[in-house]
């Protein structure tokens, strides 16, 4: 069981790592709070630091609570769906043929077999999202490997509820939230660059942010825009 700090109604998960500085984070979409500390830091010292930041924590959590939420999709005709940051209308056709999805200007055409359930329609759309992301991600990785001097051995796509991406620096792999297919392409690139920087600097240390600022100076604006966009309901697609 990991360590945690309780301050009023806020629970902070504590992780000890081989780092020089303390790093406090509030994670979308639900405001989960984590604190990374040097391995030798006493828990009472970590708690004292967290108390000094309690106002900032509450401010970040309030911003996340006020974010727009996407209504759960029913996958029916005339429903609004986002793709690469733009709104599209869904058109559903029932046909006794292999399910498929086509994009026509601002309309997403979903073809399913008659009687396909909401979950069945969602799976067809999700498979299409994966195909789009698997096509979009490798060119971005190729573009940035030489710039950052790192090698991504493999990327994974996964539904995530608390983060946009993650990195296994030892394995040289990155994991991306499939919801990124709904966001503007430049924000997908920002998340990929963020995780690739973690290959050379695993923690959110000053060196990490210095590298990110050197190679992707607009990252604060990208992060703010990403966290201000609608996020999905955890119970829907």
Average pLDDT of the residues of the chain: 89
Q: Residues 203, 209: contact at Cβ < 8 Å?
A: no
pLDDT at 21 over 90: no
pTM over the 0.85 mark: no
CA distances from 68 to 20, 51, 62, 226, 227 (A): 36, 29, 12, 12, 10
pLDDT at 224: 82
Q: Which domains does the chain have, with CATH numbers?
A: 3-65 (no CATH), 69-232 (3.30.2010.10)
| Straight-line distance from the first to the last Cα atom of the chain, in angstroms, rounded to the nearest whole number | 31
CA distances from 11 to 6, 35, 194 (A): 5, 10, 26
User: pLDDT by residue (tens digit) across 196-218?
Assistant: 999 999 988 889 999 999 999 99
């Amino acid at each position: 069981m990991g360590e945690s700090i309780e301050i009023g109604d806020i629970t902070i998960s504590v992780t000890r790592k081989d780092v020089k500085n303390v790093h406090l984070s509030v994670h979308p979409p639900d405001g989960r709070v984590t604190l990374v500390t040097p391995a030798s830091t006493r828990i009472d010292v970590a708690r004292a630091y967290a108390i000094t930041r309690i106002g900032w924590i509450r401010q970040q959590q309030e911003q996340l609570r006020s974010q727009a939420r996407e209504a759960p999709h029913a996958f029916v005709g005339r429903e609004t769906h986002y793709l690469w940051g733009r709104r599209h209308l869904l058109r559903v056709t029932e046909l006794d043929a292999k399910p498929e999805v086509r994009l026509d200007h601002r309309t997403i055409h979903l073809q399913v077999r008659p009687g396909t359930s909401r979950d069945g329609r969602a799976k067809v759309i999700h498979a299409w999202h994966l195909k789009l992301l698997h096509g979009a991600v490798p060119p971005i990785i190729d573009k940035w490997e030489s710039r950052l001097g790192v090698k991504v051995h493999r990327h994974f796509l996964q539904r995530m509820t608390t983060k946009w991406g993650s990195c296994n620096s030892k394995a040289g792999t990155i994991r991306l939230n499939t919801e990124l297919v709904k966001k503007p392409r430049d924000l997908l690139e920002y998340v990929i660059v963020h995780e690739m920087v973690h290959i050379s600097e695993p923690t959110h240390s000053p060196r990490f942010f210095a590298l990110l600022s050197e190679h992707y100076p607009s990252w604060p604006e990208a992060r703010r825009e990403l966290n201000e966009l609608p996020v999905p309901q955890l119970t829907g697609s």
